[in-house]
Structures are given as C-alpha cells and as structure tokens.
Amino acid sequence: MNIILLGPPGCGKGTQGELLAQRTGILRVSTGDLLRQAVAGGTDLGKRAKVFMDQGLLVPDDVIIGLLGEVLASPRAAGGVIMDGFPRTVAQAEAVDRLLAARGRQVDRVLFFAVADEELLRRIEGRAAVEGRADDHPDAFRQRLVVYRKQTQP
C-alpha cells in the first residue's frame, strides 16, 4: 500500500507516519529525514539541499524525486511506502504517479492533517527547543508556511 501524508509543517505528519509504519510494517519515507541525513553526511546532495532548507525553501524537485526514486527501487519498499510530507508540489505529485506506475503501483490513500497556525507555531517552537533544527527557527518556519500555502496546499 502506498500512502501519502499531507499537511502544513508541524502538523504531525512525521509522528503519525511513524506510528502508522510501526502498526503496518510499511516503510515510512520522510524526504525531510533523508535530506537531513544527506546534510549531516556532507554529501553533494546534502550541501545543495542545505542552502534551501536553511531558508525554509523547498529543495528542488530533481533532488527530491531522485531520492524517492532510489527508495522506491529498493527491496525495503516492496510492500509499499508511507510518504511523509511528499509530494509538496503538483509537479512532484505527477512524478510520484510516474515513479509508482513504472513499478506497476499507484497511490492508494492520501491523509490530510489540518491544524491551526497558532498550534503549528507552538509545536514548531517546542520542536526547535528539543531538536535544534535550523528550519524550525520562527522566521524560517513562517517562510515554510508561505511556501506551503503557495506550492503545496493547492
């Protein structure tokens, strides 16, 4: 089963995606986690992505789609995937459809998480204090919300 979790930053996609993965045994794919690992590892992809992430901007589609393509081609994804926060644009959604179709698969379910802005900011501030993520800085978070509303929400 291939599931997509959508919603604004800080709405709980990661938390719920992890719980769903534990209960179902389906591989959870968080592009945010994949990108943070690439940044921490100092890979070329990570260096390229860091510039965008630190500003709260979306990482270019070709980087994200390439990462997802690698995961979908792996044996770990044979039973499906839970896509946590991906796709984020119409072009990425179309790319997901193409990547899955190339493997004779499709998106089976989409779950949307609606959370008020005030609650999102409260959650992000708490997460920033615990995890210290640069993209959870209040200014970067506000930019992420603007980007979300322009590019993902539609």
- Enumerate the active-site residues: 13, 88, 127, 133, 144
Question: Rounded CA gap, 28 and 15, in Å?
Answer: 11
Structure tokens given for 6: 């959508």
- If one counts every other C-beta atom within 10 angstroms of the C-beta of residue 78, the result is 10
Question: Rounded CA gap, 127 and 114, in Å?
Answer: 18
- If one counts every other C-beta atom within 10 angstroms of the C-beta of residue 115, the result is 15
Please give the backbone phi and psi of residue 112, each rounded to the nearest 5 degrees, phi first: -110, 130
CB distance 26 to 17 below 8 Å: no
What radius of gyration, in Å, describes the C-alpha atoms of the chain? 15
